[in-house]
A = this chain, B = another copy of it.
């Protein structure tokens, strides 16, 4: 597999990471996500990692990268479904996922995003400005 699918749900993008991200896959995911944020005017990115039992520094860095990239594209990133062992490993590795919010599951993550972007923005559908392409 070369690409992880990104699902659009209203103002948010949802990504489910089910396999270990090797180099190419991670780079593609970063690029796809930023392009998708640009194209759709999404205000939030939800990354579900409930399928990951282990995490390494590479994966931690990728999550941080996605958070930083989304941030400068004016979108918040929420990582959801983190397993306890993964949280322990991340801290032991010294990766605090700065700039990335976390929530227990997708539903809670969506609520968090709705709070972050504000109720007014959440119902506004005219954010994307690439209509001239």
Instruction: Mark A residues whose CB is within 8 Å of B.
Output: 1, 3-5, 7-10, 14, 16, 18-19, 48, 50-51, 81, 105-107, 110
Contacts and interface: CB of A to CB of B under 8 A. Distances in A.
- A interface: dominant SS: loop
A107 B8 contact: yes
8 contacts: A1-B19, A4-B18, A5-B51, A9-B107, A9-B110, A14-B106, A18-B18, A19-B19
A59 to B, nearest CB: 15
Assembly stoichiometry (copies): 2
A40 B16 CA distance: 20
Nearest to A49: B5
- By Cβ-Cβ distance, the 6 closest A-B pairs, closest first, are A5-B51, A16-B16, A7-B106, A5-B50, A18-B18, A9-B106
A5, A8, A19 — most chain B CB neighbours (10 Å): A5
